[in-house]
């Protein structure tokens, strides 16, 4: 997975770097990436310090591009950069999971209908196993 990190007004510490690596690993896991497809995935992080009303507040933005090239993004504000990253990660993971669930639900309905149609066709194409109304001796 390719990772781009941009920090405005703050330094990327070892702790933040470890959190970014953890978030990348979790997004790979969430995307259910195949081993060869991990090169197609990309994650962009922007972490900045904002001076809202004299206090220190941090803004984190995560943009995740999955194997299909779809962008999933989230923005969060918090008192620390790591907390902002965690909130943004949770939002992006929930949105991605919701999209996957909707896609899978649509796929299941299509598969069930096709499976029923295939079974009905197979049943109609099969010759009857015995003539209707004819009873075997062991059916008594």
More confident residue, 101 or 140: 101
Q: Where in the sequence is the domain holding 11, given as residue range(s)?
A: 2-96
Residue 60 lies in a domain: yes
Per-residue pLDDT of 19-45, as tens digits, reads: 998 998 888 887 765 555 555 678 889
Please choose, from the candidates 79, 12, 102, the residue with its C-alpha nearest in 3D space to the C-alpha of residue 4.
Answer: 12
pLDDT at 31 (0 to 100) = 75
How many domains is the chain partitioned into structurally?
A: 1
CA–CA separation, 94 and 89 (whole Å): 9
The answer to pTM > 0.75 is no
pLDDT at 11 (0 to 100) = 87
CA–CA separation, 139 and 128 (whole Å): 17
Residue 28 lies in a domain: yes
SS3 66: coil
pLDDT at 101 (0 to 100) = 79
Grade residue 106 by pLDDT with cuts at 50, 70 and 90: low
Per-residue pLDDT of 51-94, as tens digits, reads: 766 566 899 999 988 777 778 889 999 888 899 999 999 998 88
CA–CA separation, 136 and 100 (whole Å): 53
Per-residue pLDDT of 115-137, as tens digits, reads: 788 888 887 777 666 666 666 66
Residue 102 lies in a domain: no
Residue 116 lies in a domain: no
pLDDT at 45 (0 to 100) = 92
> Using CA of residue 49, residue 51, residue 56, residue 59, what is the dihedral sign?
negative
The CATH code of the domain that includes 58 is 3.30.160.100
Residue 70 lies in a domain: yes
């Amino acid at each position: 997975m390719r990772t781009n990190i941009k920090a405005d007004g703050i330094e990327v510490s070892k702790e933040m770097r470890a959190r970014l690596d953890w978030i990348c690993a979790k997004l790979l896991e969430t995307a259910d990436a195949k081993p060869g497809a991990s090169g197609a995935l990309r994650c962009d992080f922007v972490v900045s310090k904002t001076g809202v009303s004299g206090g220190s507040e941090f803004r984190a933005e995560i943009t995740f591009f999955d194997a299909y090239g779809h962008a999933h993004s989230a923005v969060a504000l918090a008192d620390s950069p790591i907390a902002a990253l965690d909130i943004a990660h949770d939002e992006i993971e929930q949105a991605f999971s919701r999209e996957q669930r909707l896609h899978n639900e649509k796929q299941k309905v299509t598969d069930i209908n096709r499976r029923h149609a295939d079974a009905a066709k197979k049943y109609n194409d099969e010759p009857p196993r015995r003539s209707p109304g004819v009873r075997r001796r062991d059916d008594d």
